[in-house]
Amino acid sequence: MLIRKRTRNVKKKKKFLLARKKFCRLCVDKVKSIDYKDVKRLESFVRERGKIISPRISGNCAKHQRMVREAIKKARFVSLLPYTRI
């Protein structure tokens, strides 16, 4: 019984590791700069609660993540985006 359980777990892990590869959506669109007034685009990089999604999860490259971060911070300052939501 114990051995069976183990093999099942291994299979599950393998499936998880074979998940689709991430890519930078902004590189695909060849985005050169991100406007802080472009709230629709910025909201796709922010969680429900207002947190910025990390590149490890969103798949952004370092260059574009930097642009997104700066734009979100500017948008927050002029209250286009929230710092947090309750």
Task: Tell me which residues touch Zn ion (CB under 5 A).
Answer: 24, 26-27, 61, 64
Distance CA 85, CA 66 (A): 23
Name the minimum Å distance from CB 19 to Zn ion: 20
> Smaller CB distance to Zn ion: residue 62 or 86?
62
Instruction: Taking the CA atoms of 33, 35, 41 and 46 in sequence, report the sign of the dihedral they define.
Output: positive
Name the minimum Å distance from CB 17 to Zn ion: 24
End-to-end CA distance of the chain: 47
Contact (Cβ atoms closer than 8 angstroms) between residue 68 and residue 60: yes
> Smaller CB distance to Zn ion: residue 26 or 34?
26
Name the minimum Å distance from CB 23 to Zn ion: 9
> Smaller CB distance to Zn ion: residue 31 or 39?
31
